């Protein structure tokens, strides 16, 4: 769960709440969220204790990254404790204890920026999409890492990822995709795409959008516990 969201947290201390992960548990449903003003990752899970609830708490992303590192790939049970009136969170396993201060403040209402509809949706192989984005990033460095995505529906649907550099030329990679809805061209920070595709962990992903000035939504195909929202970039000429 941490790996699905921690990369989207901000590194800018000017907005401290965004340097943390929002953790909430309501009736046994756990939600982790991270955002930096340009992207948002949200992951949910059902806990084995359905009555569990805690108020929303903001935990530093660095602390959550450290917790992820020390836990590794083990399947130990992790206990999360919020001592009253101490502004701290404690994570415990049989052999590890991680303690962190909480970040004070109110986390933005991230639910309000998640689109509830789309006009174009493409399902694409995660590995092929990631490879195309990495290739585009080499050419996108001069243009604030902006890369264009062109989605074309039809029996031979495609997703084209392209970027242009004044010095080194241009790159276009066409990936097979199942595209529903209207054809569209939209630009995103390709490094943000690389981050989420590295983390998603499913063979295929969906990418959804409505128009060139609308958010892009990435979902893990075959599961409904993860959603990622990316703000668009200006297409230019």
187-226 tens-digit pLDDT: 999 999 999 999 999 999 999 999 999 999 999 999 999 9
67 CB-near residues (< 8 Å, 6+ apart): 2, 91, 98
Cα–Cα distance measured from residue 215 to residue 114, given in angstroms and rounded to the nearest whole number: 8
The two three-digit tokens of residue 223, written as one number: 């599961």
Please count the structural domains in the chain: 2
Q: Does a structural domain hold residue 236?
A: no
Last residue of a domain, one of 113, 136, 168: 113
The string of pLDDT tens digits covering residues 107-144 is 999 999 999 999 999 999 999 999 999 999 999 988 89
For residue 61, is pLDDT > 90? yes
The two three-digit tokens of residue 112, written as one number: 């309000």
HSE at residue 14, side-chain half, CA atoms within 13 A, is 3
Quote the domain boundaries for residue 219.
120-230
Q: Does a structural domain hold residue 237?
A: no
The answer to whether 8 and 39 are in contact (CB under 8 A) is yes
Q: What is residue 212's three-state secondary structure?
A: coil
Cα–Cα distance measured from residue 216 to residue 173, given in angstroms and rounded to the nearest whole number: 19
User: Which CB contacts under 8 angstroms, 24+ apart, belong to 87-91?
Assistant: 89/23, 89/57, 89/59, 89/63, 91/67
Place 95 in a pLDDT band, splitting at 50, 70 and 90.
Answer: confident
Last residue of a domain, one of 88, 113, 138: 113
Q: Does a structural domain hold residue 15?
A: yes
């Amino acid at each position: 769960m941490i790996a699905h969201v921690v990369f989207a947290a901000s590194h800018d201390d000017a907005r401290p709440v965004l340097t943390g992960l929002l953790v909430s548990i309501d009736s046994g449903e756990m939600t982790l969220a991270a955002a930096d003003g340009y992207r948002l990752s949200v992951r949910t899970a059902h806990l084995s204790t359905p009555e569990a609830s805690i108020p929303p708490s903001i935990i530093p992303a660095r602390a959550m990254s450290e917790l992820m590192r020390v836990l590794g790939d083990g399947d130990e049970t992790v206990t999360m404790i919020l001592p009253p009136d101490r502004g701290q969170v404690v994570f415990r396993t049989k052999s590890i204890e991680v303690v962190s201060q909480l970040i004070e403040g109110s986390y933005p209402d991230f639910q309000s920026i998640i689109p509830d509809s789309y006009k174009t949706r493409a399902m694409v192989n995660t590995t092929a999409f990631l490879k195309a984005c990495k290739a585009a990033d080499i050419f996108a460095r001069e243009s604030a890492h902006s890369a264009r995505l062109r989605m074309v529906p039809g029996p031979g649907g495609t997703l084209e990822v392209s970027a242009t550099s004044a010095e080194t030329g241009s790159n276009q990679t066409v990936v097979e995709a199942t595209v529903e809805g209207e054809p569209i061209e939209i630009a995103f920070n390709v490094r943000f795409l690389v981050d989420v595709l590295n983390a998603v962990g499913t063979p295929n992903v969906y990418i959804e959008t409505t128009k060139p000035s609308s958010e892009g939504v990435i979902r893990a195909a075959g599961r409904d516990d993860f959603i990622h929202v990316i703000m668009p970039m200006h297409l230019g000429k």
